[in-house]
Structure 1
Amino acid sequence: MWNSGMWDGTGATWMWFLMWLVPLAVLLGIGYLLYRVVHRSTDQETDPALEQLRLSYAQGKLSDEEYEERLNRLDRD
């Protein structure tokens, strides 16, 4: 019998499968990248008081103990 010469007659099935799998993988990849961009932008929104505290600590205006105390106080509120 004639089997079209490709993978025991399943060539058309494999081609159909790949024609759907490749675009699906591309769409999922694009969706994942968009999710990461949106998720990253919301993560970067921080409390201005914490940013100021970190900046003051980085500039050496606060001691380690004072920084930890203020950080704990801000985290409670």
Structure 2
Amino acid sequence: MLLHRHGDRVLRLKGLVAVEGSATPVVIRGVQHLIHPSVHLAAWPEGRARTRLVAIARDLDPALLRRSFAAFTRASGGP
């Protein structure tokens, strides 16, 4: 959703994502409107199962990104 709405301002997006029903993380990577195929890792780094996202953007308010992520995770039944 982020790249669809703000892809022209998102220079790079990457992260480890906790997916319901999966014991291992999924790696996501994107550049502007392009999402690379996801990769499933064999284990969580450091044994800590938690989503970690990094966004490098131009002219995007970090608070907007946090609110959008929070709204998305609530709507999808996440934390």
TM bucket normalised to smaller: under 0.3
Q: Of Structure 1 and Structure 2, which has the larger fraction of its residues in strand?
A: 2
Bigger CA radius of gyration? 1
TM-score between both structures, scaled by the size of structure 2: 0.21
TM-score between both structures, scaled by the size of structure 1: 0.21
Q: Of Structure 1 and Structure 2, which has the larger fraction of its residues in helix?
A: 1
